Amino acid sequence: MIRYTPLTAEEPENRTQMKNILLIIFFLSSALQGFAEDGSRLWLRADTKAHATVAANKKSPSIDIAIAELQTQWQGGKVNLMIQKGIAGQARNDNHEGYTITSNTQKEITIKSPSEKGLLYGAYHLLRLQATNKLAYPLNIQESPKYNLRILNHWDNLNGTVERGYAGHSIWRWDELPEVVSPRYKEYARANASIGINATVLNNVNASPLILKPEMLAKVKIIADILRPYGIKVFLSVNFSSPTVIGGLATSDPLDKAVRQWWKDKANEIYKIIPDFGGFLVKANSEGQPGPQDFGRTHAEGANMLADALKPHNGIVMWRAFVYNPTNDDRAKQAYMEFVPLDGQFHDNVIIQVKNGPIDFQPREPFSPLFGAMKQTKVMAELQITQEYLGHSNHLAFLAPMWQEFLESDTYANGKSSFVANTIMAIAGVANIGDDTNWTGSHLAQANWYAFGRLAWNPQLTSENIADEWIRQTFSQDDAFVEPVKDMMLNSWETVINYMMPLGLHHIFAVGHHYGPEPWGVIPGGRPDWQPWYFHNVDTVGVGFDRTKSGSDAISQYYSPLKEELYNIHTCPDKWLLWFHHTPWNYTMKSGRSLWDELCYKYDLGVQQVRDFQKIWDKQENQVDAERFQHIQSRLKIQARDAVWWKDACLLYFQTFSRQPIPYDIERPVNDLDELKQIKLKISNYENAKR
């Protein structure tokens, strides 16, 4: 402890003493600030005091970054970086991002790649092995990404808000660019490069046409210039009506010659200032967005018009398949119904971007039947990193197990084993990034950004390995900390399902913000497929959506033998039961319980699991810094309260139809249904839900 005694001007010795004390305080303060555990460093927290020797056979901005990263962090011997064509790590002729890392001892290591980006990825891989204590000599590593395009989709608006964002405002400061450039742009690029993400869409799919105006493109150029050395291409979401809104044309019809020329001219303008621009992401004829159907044209005709404009520049169009209209058709069927008839009609630089499930990023969905069905069209998967339907950034939900379940699902599209991971050409994730100090609103939510990048590079990685990597780099190498926290993370997604929507229930959220439960919700005059009852169809007989032949027959969109398994209520997996079957309350589940009792036990299990998470985390108080410990502890308290809210709201509401008692050996409801129905949250686009 430093004791301070007030000094007077007549005491020169004391003044010297005071000066020394102030210097000590200054240096202590600086040191503490330098090691502040505020989450801003993400998983890139290695000591940067090394002085490693690094040599390269070529010079470039990307290689300079790789050299700098290794020089300041690598604790071993010399590292050689070599551009070399045809290396073993180059898995496919069309991919040049692979690399090899070889060494007989730690005294000298060689990283080879046919590209500068590959060397950068190899450098980060080597540092990851060091940071996780996974180095084992001799090294003989061969790596190449599964997908050429591994992209983050930002739903960021030009006014700084983020749609479905829960980590503050957008990191893109459009009002300051191009004069003021945030240092976070480079930090963002570094984080993405470290996990292999090689592209980003800067703006919301609900796009403003203004993004294509010259003054905005000048701002986009600044960001593109910063991201380029880190191997990241920039894409933009575009509004299909841009020729009319900002181009002054009378129409945006994709077959109109003037419209086609406008898009060609706009593409030429963009590539003149951003030569490696990636292309366009388009949300069209979906949720009120304009599109080719406004002019009697098809999705293929709209996408191909843009593809023609981008083709001379090697640009691509990512055309979203998230479409549904207010019809009598099951919403889960509509994307398939619109796009499968167009299979084979899209140009080769068009990729259809399909959400992982047929509804909308629900806590658990079966894979969309479009995967495997589009046999003559390039398809990419769209995952949601931001937790729109998973408790925002208040709830712990490590999503690697969700994505692993999706990617490992067998579509049977070719009459034999055909996993989703093998039916797609690229993969996108809707970002959970904002301007919060910790980037993602919650320290633990950083793990989902990390997991997306790692799985996009290699979908065969296990959730356990990814969680282990992230914890060791972000928090601690101590197994006494790593193992219980990893177990908590790996169980968290299933836990959220248990207390929110078990057994295939889906989309029973409060309308609008999608945070709390509202299975009773009704939007007066709203379309049916925006109402929770549309999805659960509860009545005195049972609950669930009938997607068999006696209902919407959505199951018919899947291939055999999967569809036969799903049609039969007795063979349909429990996790999908209420997704595909309106099931009687007294139906005997595989556990031997009735559906009603099983539902009650699942909800109660979710509550108890979150309380176990609290116990696990509280035991780590002496293993982690106070700032992050308290932050995560406070979020788990919110999650525990919310879990009870979900359990009570859903069981008390469904009980009015089942007319059966809640089993007496589970926790009693602590809320009143009428009071729960009065809860109305107001949540902005960029804030966490608060109750």
What is the percent of the chain with per-residue pLDDT over 70, rounded to a whole number? Answer: 92
Banded model confidence at residue 337, pLDDT cuts 50, 70, 90 = very high
Return the pLDDT at 390: 98
Banded model confidence at residue 21, pLDDT cuts 50, 70, 90 = very low
Return the pLDDT at 325: 86
Distance CA 671, CA 153 (A): 39
Say which residue, 297 or 681, is predicted with more confidence: 297
Return the pLDDT at 90: 52
pLDDT tens track for 190-204: 999 999 999 999 999
**Model confidence, pTM:** 0.94
Residue 587 near residue 578, CB atoms below 8 Å: no
pLDDT tens track for 583-631: 999 999 999 999 999 999 999 999 999 999 999 999 999 999 999 999 9
Residues of the chain within CATH 3.20.20.80 domain(s) are: 149-217+232-265+283-294+321-337+355-460
Residues of the chain within CATH 3.90.1330.10 domain(s) are: 499-545+582-676
Mean pLDDT of the chain: 93
Residue 9, pLDDT above cutoff 90:
no
Q: Is 93 exposed, middle or buried (0-12, 13-18, 19+ CB in 10 A)?
A: exposed
Q: Which token pair is 272?
A: 């003149």
Q: What is the mean pLDDT of residues 69-90?
A: 88
Q: What is the mean pLDDT of residues 483-504?
A: 98
Beta strands in 84-207 (DSSP E): 99-103, 108-113, 139-143, 149-153, 199-201
Distance CA 448, CA 464 (A): 13
Residues of the chain within CATH 3.30.379.10 domain(s) are: 54-143
> Would you tell me which CATH number, out of the four given (3.30.70.100, 3.40.1350.10, 3.30.390.50, 3.20.20.80), belongs to the domain 149-217+232-265+283-294+321-337+355-460?
3.20.20.80
Catalytic residue among 253, 360, 469, 597: 360
Distance CA 162, CA 668 (A): 39
CA distances from 646 to 51, 170, 383, 482, 652 (A): 53, 30, 24, 30, 10
Residue 315, pLDDT above cutoff 50:
yes
pLDDT tens track for 441-457: 999 999 999 999 999 99
Catalytic-residue membership of 287 = yes
Catalytic residue among 143, 388, 435, 687: 388
Catalytic-residue membership of 338 = no
Residue 10, pLDDT above cutoff 90:
no
Catalytic-residue membership of 69 = no
Residue 27, pLDDT above cutoff 50:
no
What is the percent of the chain with per-residue pLDDT over 90, rounded to a whole number? Answer: 88
User: How many other C-beta atoms can be found within 10 angstroms of the C-beta atom of residue 667?
Assistant: 14
Domain 499-545+582-676, CATH: 3.90.1330.10
> Would you tell me which CATH number, out of the four given (3.30.379.10, 3.40.50.300, 3.40.50.20, 3.90.190.20), belongs to the domain 54-143?
3.30.379.10
Catalytic residue among 287, 348, 618, 621: 287
Q: What is the mean pLDDT of residues 31-38?
A: 60
Say which residue, 43 or 24, is predicted with more confidence: 43
